[in-house]
Copies of this chain bind each other. A is one copy, B any other.
């Protein structure tokens, strides 16, 4: 046995999972789990909901106690125990007992680092003022709750419009606080393509959250009352009784760096497929490590619980001599706020452009989550990316009020299995009226992409719309057209198209739109067979409104 003693640093998702898996694989190894905080194995994804009082009982966030680890897994847990140094030669860690301040060391045969990531907190003037918080652990969330309960802030500023920022916006609104989100980028939820994030923008606005996009914080001051003044780059100042910084997280790598372990360009601990660091006795998992993107093979930071769990299991396997490998990340993520769900998996147009990849096609569609004739139908706004050369599914983004996770999970599974658009067309998915449609939204996405790949329909480049090079044809009914249309477009309803072909130019490209893209597809098929050069503006006027939201 080479693993007489495994020491694990960090007892939340990655560390706790790794410890439990180690015990299942090896009943005899000694396992010591250290965490500098007061708890191990707590539900950090639940923290915003504890602040919002959606989860009312703090004890629900504690998934496993040190006592349970001892009894069930024969694992020794020490909380309030901070590892402050690693001696790789002696194979020991120095531990500070945060209750007593006493330092001591413990030997290891194998060391697992699962220190997580810390909230980014820039050195802005006044950032340490009371009422300004970050959110990483139970004490943080308890502090925000107590601040709300005792100070009764009327207004809150959330700095950062990403996933956590929007979850916090919902939860603070739920506490009756008027929320403003300040975001440096010109969109919410920066991992998304901007037109997909536009749905989130509209939705939070419609729920009374104020937004200040394209704007950054420059500092904080105490106001004359007992509140805060938030100064921003735009010159606007905001009054707030509460500020939450949700700008993102940064891998905790000080311990690893100090010990001379390799750290990657993205700032995470570098590991191999077996989650081993540059030291053969040290493994690392979770938010502190870099992971390879499955498609681009680029190193990424993806601080999410699912991959952390997989990495932890794989590290335990490899420590126990198994050959498991972490295959990398797709980037599947989901966020809900005010009844809207936003989810994505795989690549976005942003990530493809960043990786210099142009061999792709993007299709938009807006199907209902189930048949329209059954009560309660809601649209899912879906963007699917496929590789143009062979149809490989690259990624998807979806926004809607119902059954969004399901469609992204189907596509995440498809990507994992290297499916193509032609597979998506033919998936045999659940259908009854309250659950879907005979052609599920995912089938529809596959069909649209496959139509493009087979050459049955060309897509028009939305980004060139304003160049004015094409004849814009809108095939909706006149009352729809009159309620709002793409400037410069000409209306011929689909039902009249065959009899009005003479009104269309043979010498010019015709770009067709309708409401969501379906009638335009029918029109494209008619026109192409009559010799016109024709392209579909994918997703129709629905997509137009997100690409050109000012209109």
Contacts and interface: CB of A to CB of B under 8 A. Distances in A.
B428 A525 contact: no
Given A345-B428, A428-B416, A24 B522 contact: yes
Nearest to A432: B334
Interface in A279-332: 304-310, 327, 329-332
A55 interface: yes
Interface string A375-403: 10000000000000000000000000001
A124 to B, nearest CB: 29
A433 interface: yes
A528 to B, nearest CB: 9
Interface in A493-539: 494-496, 498, 519, 521-522, 525-526, 529-530
A63 interface: yes
A430 B413 contact: no
A433 B341 contact: no
Interface of A: 13, 23-28, 43, 45-46, 49, 54-55, 60-61, 63, 68, 71-74, 163, 167, 304-310, 327, 329-336, 341, 343, 345, 371-375, 403, 405-406, 408-410, 412-414, 416-419, 423, 426-436, 438-440, 442-443, 456, 494-496, 498, 519, 521-522, 525-526, 529-530
Given A43-B373, A310-B426, A332-B431, 16 more contacts: A13-B438, A24-B521, A27-B525, A45-B371, A45-B431, A60-B372, A71-B494, A73-B522, A306-B439, A336-B434, A341-B435, A345-B428, A409-B409, A409-B429, A410-B410, A413-B417
14 contacts: A27-B529, A43-B433, A55-B374, A71-B495, A73-B522, A306-B428, A310-B426, A336-B434, A403-B405, A406-B406, A409-B430, A409-B440, A416-B423, A417-B423
